[in-house]
Amino acid sequence: MRQRIVDPRPLSDEDERFNLTRRPRTLDEMIGLSHQLEPLRIALTAAMERDEPLEHALLDGPPGLGKTTIAHAIANEMGAKLVQSSGPALTKTGDLMGILTSLGNRDVLLIDEIHRMPVAVEEFIYPAMEERKVQFVVDRGAFAKTIEVPLKGFTLIGATTKAGLLSKPLRERFSIFHHVEFYKPEHLNAIVLRSAKLLEVPIDDAAAAEIARRSRGTPRITNNYLKRVRDFAQVKGDGRVTLDVATKALDMLGVDKAGLDELDRRFLRAIADFYDGGPVGIETLAATLNEDRGTLEDVVEPYLLRIGLLNRTSKGRCATRRSYEHLGLEIPQSAQRGLFV
C-alpha cells in the first residue's frame, strides 16, 4: 500500500522510535489535551491516592492523535510497566494468557485497535477485566479440566479508531471512556516548537505556524512534516527553517495550504469532474482512483468531511461548494443540488 506523508498512521519503525523517545511522559505535558484529559487525570489521581490500579479505560479517536501516548503517560505517572499489543496480533487465547500472567500490580496493558480482537480472545478477557482471573482449559475430552489463574490488579487500556465496532459486552466492561479530538492549530504550533527544540532544529515562529496549519489537526503528521522540512532546510538552505523554506518544502511534498495531498485532490476531482459533483458510491470512487476502499474511508474522508470539502449522504459522496472553490473549478449547474450553500 502506498504511503502518504499525510497518513496519520505510523509511516515506518523509525517514525515510531522518534515518537516513542520524544513523546510526553505525563498527562500535563500533553499539549492541547489539558482540558480534554481533565476527567482522566482526576480518575488517575484518585486511584493513586487509594493505592489502587486505574479502572479500565477505552480511548477512541482517529489515528495519530495520541491514544498510545496517553497510555504511556498513565503508566509513567503510576510508576508502572506498560505492555503493548494489538487486536489483530492476539489471534489465540494463549497469546493473551502469557501477557496477562506477566503483569504486576497497577501495570498497564494497552491493546491497540481493540475492536479487531477475535471473538474467542475477547471473551477470554472478560473475567480478567471483571474478576482479575482467567480460566484456562487443559487437555481435551474426558480429561479436560479448567485451571483458574489469579491475576494482579492491572489496568486495561483499549485504543480504537472505530468505537462503534466494539461489541456491547466488551464496551460495557470499561469504566472510563475518553474520545480524543483533533488538535487546534495553536496547539500543533506548540508541538512543532517543542519537537524542533528536541531535534535541535532552528525554526522561525512563522514557519512553525505554517507547518501546524497544514497538519490536518494531527500531531503525528506535524512531526512527519517537521522532519521532512528539516531535511529540505539542510540540503537546500542553511539549516534554519524559515517560512519560505517550510512553504517550499511542503509544496514540494504536494501538501497544499489546506493540508490536502494529491490523493485528496484526486478524490475531490473525481467526484466533481467524473460524477458531476455526486452523489457517488465509495466503491465506484475506489475503482475510479484505483485505491483501496479502506484507505479512502479511514484516511481521506474524515479530514475532508471535517473541513467541509465533502458531503457524505445515504446515496453517496457529494462535492461541496467549498471543494469546488478550493480546487479552482467552476460549479456546473448539474452539481448545484448536491452542494452546501
Residue 3 pLDDT exceeds 60:
no
Residue 226 pLDDT exceeds 90:
yes
**What was the pLDDT predicted at 175?**
92
The CATH fold assigned to 262-338 is: Arc Repressor Mutant, subunit A (1.10.10)
Which of 68, 155, 218, 222 does the annotation list as catalytic? 68
Nearest CA among 69, 127, 126, 125 for reference residue 99: 125
28 is catalytic: no
Which of 4, 106, 220, 230 does the annotation list as catalytic? 220
161 is catalytic: yes
- Average pLDDT of the segment spanning 183-192: 91
86-102 pLDDT, tens digit each: 999 998 888 888 899 89
CATH homologous superfamily of 33-179: P-loop containing nucleotide triphosphate hydrolases (3.40.50.300)
pTM over cut 0.85: no
- Comparing 33 with 227, which gets the higher pLDDT? 227
Q: What is the 3-state secondary structure (H, E, C) of the chain?
A: CCCCCCCCCCCCHHHHHHHHHHCCCCHHHCCCCCCCCHHHHHHHHHHHHCCCCCCCEEEECCCCCCHHHHHHHHHHHCCCCEEEEECCCCCCHHHHHHHHHHCCCCCEEEEECHHHCCHHHHHHHHHHHHHCEEEEEECCHHHCEEEEEECCCCEEEEEECCHHHCCHHHHHCCCEEEECCCCCHHHHHHHHHHHHHHHCCCECHHHHHHHHHCCCCCHHHHHHHHHHHHHHHHHHCCCCECHHHHHHHHHHCCCCCCCCCHHHHHHHHHHHHHCCCCCECHHHHHHHHCCCHHHHHHHHHHHHHHCCCEEEECCEEEECHHHHHHHCCCCCHHHHHHCCC
261-286 pLDDT, tens digit each: 999 999 999 999 888 888 999 999 99
Beta-carbon neighbour count of residue 1 at 10 Å? Answer: 8
Residue 338 pLDDT exceeds 60:
no
- Going 303 to 307 to 310 to 315, the CA torsion angle's sign is positive
- Average pLDDT of the segment spanning 58-84: 90
- Percentage of the chain beyond pLDDT 90 is 52
Which of 7, 107, 112, 264 does the annotation list as catalytic? 112
**What was the pLDDT predicted at 38?**
87
Distances (CA, A) of 157 to 129, 146, 149, 229: 11, 27, 21, 34
On whether the CB atoms of residues 212 and 191 are closer than 8 A, the answer is yes
**What was the pLDDT predicted at 96?**
87
pLDDT band at 341 (very low <50, low <70, confident <90, very high): very low
- The CATH architecture assigned to 185-252 reads Orthogonal Bundle (1.10)
**What was the pLDDT predicted at 208?**
95
- Comparing 83 with 146, which gets the higher pLDDT? 83
CA distance 269 to 165: 31
Tell me the domain boundaries of the chain. 33-179, 185-252, 262-338
**What was the pLDDT predicted at 1?**
43
Mean pLDDT of the chain: 86
**What was the pLDDT predicted at 143?**
65
CA distance 94 to 77: 30
296-327 pLDDT, tens digit each: 988 889 889 989 999 998 889 999 999 999 99
67 is catalytic: yes
**What was the pLDDT predicted at 172?**
92
Which of 161, 218, 222, 320 does the annotation list as catalytic? 161
**What was the pLDDT predicted at 294?**
84
220 is catalytic: yes
- Average pLDDT of the segment spanning 171-194: 91
Residue 158 pLDDT exceeds 90:
yes
68 is catalytic: yes
Which of 67, 116, 214, 216 does the annotation list as catalytic? 67
